[in-house]
Structure 1
């Protein structure tokens, strides 16, 4: 589909009627290499009932119904704050305008939404749509133009900011087998329970300073410890298979990669329809935990980005090894499917 053939905006007859509900108009902006089928695939990952009301072709844009009240039209040529982006493709999204309370000054703002919607964050359907637009823009290396009280603001999420991955499969790896798979990638991997024994909360923590928390006497403390020890012994000597376990890979200054394995019944929409996923699956979650507290920052400092950049290929290699061992599907943090060869 040639870029010069795209219209300058969605045709009036393709715009859904607004009725009494006030409508917000947002836009997804992507590069010329992004095909319509990629946008459709990401939409189906979040809106399983999405379908084309008007299919796009080489001469006209189309309309994709995401839900009862939300429609996506495009692609077409950019305008407004993006006019002059000659090679961009734009998808216009119309959804109900639904705003809630203003963001709390101390809340995390990893995607920049609190900064973008200072007077009231999107809720309900508009929240679903905006969250999907940001995730799709990150995946497609694009931007989102959001409608904030008739003012257009541009969000360009960092594609490298969210690196966690999950393998879903119908194959359960015994703990020893999973550790062997992980150690084929990095011999430093170990069981999660290792490390320095927990010494209790710090002296200045909330629990330690609340006046109404009673002090345990020696008899009660001994009883609690004995019950905990009995539970540990029962778990270690039982013939029942574990329902979950974890493996850690310490990257030192670059943080920690945790592989958390367990069964899950609530699966991503992107796995809907797969026969082996009916009723649930085994999830192999591969997560990165930095040494700093900047994971939820929209623009983390350089040291955080460097550590994340070094951890990303190792996390991808671990995910690929697990996927080779158990099969199934890989999804990213937005629950979008990821191809094995893209790791």
Structure 2
């Protein structure tokens, strides 16, 4: 146990009703602060962890009164207090992993909704709250705590039931490169093929040659059942006749204008705003690379000069053969084996794209990733 940290107040009766973030040794409060700002842009230390200094009566200067926890305000209603040191026996008494070295105490509103719906539960919140799932602020804080635990190899003890969530650190392997650099489809394909030669562009579709030759010329079956008169109704017909326009003339004019617009769009299509590429991984599923403009960026990127007006996102996603397993807290052994084989390929493609276009890499939780760590 680190003697420089305050002890976790196990005698606090409210401790076991609040959410706790448990982390292994070697993770400093600065790392937790960065991850807080990554999700809550206004997060800040109200009190930094350290040694409280106070002047003793009749003494010269100040003296330390022992280590004190910090108070990190993550939002207007929620705080994270810590780090606290814990011994292995204390961690086990709370149901936390034996490797737990420090604990943060999360205080947030208790906001619960309905019973959880059936279906996936990647974060484990449905298991932890079977009667009423957290909503609003409590849900936001808990999802962040689980994301931090996944990123740092820790665990989360949830409130009054004391359910412990130990998220798989490899459960979310998708990566996104954010940058101002735009690559044309063939350029992106060339970059990806440096890593995975089997990659191909996923831009095939059904060619569109314009509307049908008789489009707009004849009423279609079923209009009468919808209450639409075959020839526009008496009121419309009377108005057209007053202006010397026959109903069929109007149809022909509208059809000619639409046809001219379609020909212009086919001749000069609008600039491309997105495209994709695929890599067939066989029994391990697919690797999808999606390129498009993105206006909503991770908080840590929004104030960067090159990202103020948005950015280009190069998303590298793994799709297993059974998509539903992505949402399971504990997927099958086969899924985890396939994921383990796909992970280095996701990372290699993200590294190659980053080397080509620059910018920043973010994981599935919008936490930034150092390319050197991939």
TM-score band, normalised by shorter chain:
0.7 to 0.9
- Residue of structure 1 equivalent to 2:329: 298
Q: 1:236 to 1:182 in 2, by over 3 A?
A: farther
Q: 1:319 to 1:234 in 2, by over 3 A?
A: farther
1:338 CA drift (Å): 0.4
Per-residue CA deviations over 1:175-232 (Å, capped at 9, x if unaligned) read 11111111111110001145999xxxxxxxxxxxxxxxxxxxxxxxxxxxxxxxx999
Task: Work out which of the residue numbers 103, 109, 122 in structure 2 matches 1:90.
Answer: 103
Query: 2:139 aligns to what SS in structure 1?
Result: helix
- Residue of structure 1 equivalent to 2:256: none
- Residue of structure 2 equivalent to 1:60: 68
Task: Work out which of the residue numbers 306, 310, 315 in structure 2 matches 1:285.
Answer: 315
- Which structure would you say has the larger Rg? 2
2:269 matches 1:256: no
Task: Work out which of the residue numbers 132, 148, 165 in structure 1 matches 2:144.
Answer: 132
Q: 1:231 to 1:101 in 2, by over 3 A?
A: farther
Query: Quick one: distance in 2 between partners of 1:129 and 1:45?
Result: 13
Query: Quick one: distance in 1 between partners of 2:328 and 2:97?
Result: 31
1:259 CA drift (Å): 0.3
- Residue of structure 2 equivalent to 1:37: 30
Query: Quick one: distance in 1 between partners of 2:319 and 2:263?
Result: 30
Query: Quick one: distance in 2 between partners of 1:231 and 1:184?
Result: 41
Query: Quick one: distance in 1 between partners of 2:196 and 2:75?
Result: 45
1:235 CA drift (Å): 6.9
- Residue of structure 2 equivalent to 1:75: 83
1:5 CA drift (Å): 2.6
Q: 1:323 to 1:9 in 2, by over 3 A?
A: same
1:311 CA drift (Å): 0.4
1:24 CA drift (Å): 6.0
Per-residue CA deviations over 1:3-62 (Å, capped at 9, x if unaligned) read 1232223699xxxxx9xxxx9621111011111111010000011111111111263211
Query: 2:190 aligns to what SS in structure 1?
Result: helix
Aligned residue runs from structure 1 range 204-219, under 5 A: none
- Residue of structure 2 equivalent to 1:271: 301
Query: Quick one: distance in 1 between partners of 2:264 and 2:172?
Result: 39
Query: Quick one: distance in 1 between partners of 2:201 and 2:97?
Result: 54
Alpha carbon RMSD of aligned pairs, Å?
A: 2.8
Unaligned runs of 5+ in 1: 13-17, 198-229
Task: Work out which of the residue numbers 180, 183, 190 in structure 2 matches 1:170.
Answer: 180
Question: Does the Cα contact within 8 Å between 2:5 and 2:68 map onto a contact in 1?
Answer: yes
Question: Does the Cα contact within 8 Å between 1:24 and 1:94 map onto a contact in 2?
Answer: no
Matched residue pairs, number? Answer: 300
Question: TM-score, structure 1 length as denominator?
Answer: 0.81
- Residue of structure 2 equivalent to 1:322: 353
- Residue of structure 1 equivalent to 2:59: none
- Residue of structure 1 equivalent to 2:57: none
1:141 CA drift (Å): 0.4
Query: Quick one: distance in 2 between partners of 1:169 and 1:231?
Result: 35
2:155 matches 1:143: yes
